A = this chain, B = another copy of it.
Amino acid sequence: MTISRLPITGFSNPAVKAARSLREKKHRKREARFLAEGLRLLTEAREAGIVPEALWVGQHRDPHPLIDALERAVSDCGGVIYETTADILSKISGKDNPQTVLGVFSDLPTTLDRLDRTRSGIWLVAQAMRDPGNLGTMLRTCDAVGAGGLILVDQCVDPFSVEAVRASMGAVFTVPLAQADWGEFLGWLRAGPGQLVGTSLNTTHDYRGAAYASPSFLLIGNEAQGLPSNYEAHCDLLVKIPMLGKADSLNAAVAGAVMAYEVLAQQG
């Protein structure tokens, strides 16, 4: 089967503008689509059964079997392949040295009811997380520890921003993700088994060797404010990560990872 590619060389082509606009949140929301860049990320997606609606490839790309596989997958699913210049790839990605492949994906579902809490003993829950790098890094950590997924509570940064997708190193395609407000999350959580674990300065309970249940939901608060105290009150267990220096908190993604690896070690 031959692969058909649509050549695009004009910056003013509407497809260029549409793809480029996905770097901005308001356009992502309106279009319910997002951008992912690079052969590695797009291959992770493909292997997870997620294929872009539109694939952009550079005119002067070196041949690569993984690009061939991507093109076949997009073609088989009825997607479109645009072949374009490095300058246009730069324009879409906003980078001087763009990747030679970009994909436009439909938003992935992020409802709580899709999550299967029996899938893993570890879940990460980020509350009001603001930094896309932290969000992507937490997805990557979820993948590494075999977590059930990442639950975004309250107003978090967009998990489908270019920065978050990039920082996830592809985990955005492989780790289940949900978005909910605090009330919804609590309702869902309490409808089944699960221990809510908060990291807090307001406890003497060391995170190391605390009694984690399975599944544990590890709640990490906002980068600047930490967890609201009334959220702490809903936790089944509050633990403290030692802070021996001047500062009173870790980077949020680091705190999530230190907690997740402790629970993983316990759960074996």
Contact = CB atoms under 8 A, between A and B. Distances in A.
Contacts of A48: 246
Contacts of A265: 208
Q: Which of A146, A247, A253, A265 has the most CB of B within 10 A?
A: A247
Interface stretch (A63-71, A154-162, A191-199, A236-244): A236-244
A137 B254 contact: yes
Q: Which of A48, A137, A243 has the most CB of B within 10 A?
A: A137
Q: Interface extent on A, as a size class? A: 35 or more
Interface stretch (A75-83, A84-92, A163-171): A163-171
20 contacts: A133-B133, A137-B251, A137-B253, A141-B250, A141-B251, A141-B254, A142-B245, A143-B244, A143-B247, A144-B247, A145-B244, A167-B251, A170-B247, A208-B265, A244-B264, A251-B253, A251-B257, A253-B253, A257-B258, A258-B261
A257 B253 CA distance: 10
Given A258-B258, A261-B241, A264-B242, A144 B250 contact: yes
Q: How many copies does the complex hold?
A: 2
A151 B264 CA distance: 29
A24 interface: no
A175 B265 CA distance: 29
A44 interface: yes
Contacts of A142: 245
Contact of A242 (B144, B241, B243): B144
Interface of A: 44, 47-48, 133, 137, 140-146, 167, 169-171, 174-175, 208, 241-247, 249-251, 253-254, 257-258, 261, 264-265
B247 A146 contact: no
Contacts of A242: 144-145, 261, 264
Contacts of A145: 242, 244-245
Contacts of A169: 247, 249
Contacts of A144: 241-245, 247, 250
Contacts of A250: 140-141, 144, 257
Nearest to A47: B246
Nearest to A223: B169
Which 10 residue pairs of A and B lie closest in terms of their CB atoms, listed nearest first?
A143-B245, A146-B244, A254-B257, A137-B251, A258-B261, A144-B243, A143-B247, A174-B246, A208-B265, A144-B245
Contacts of A174: 245-246
Contacts of A249: 169
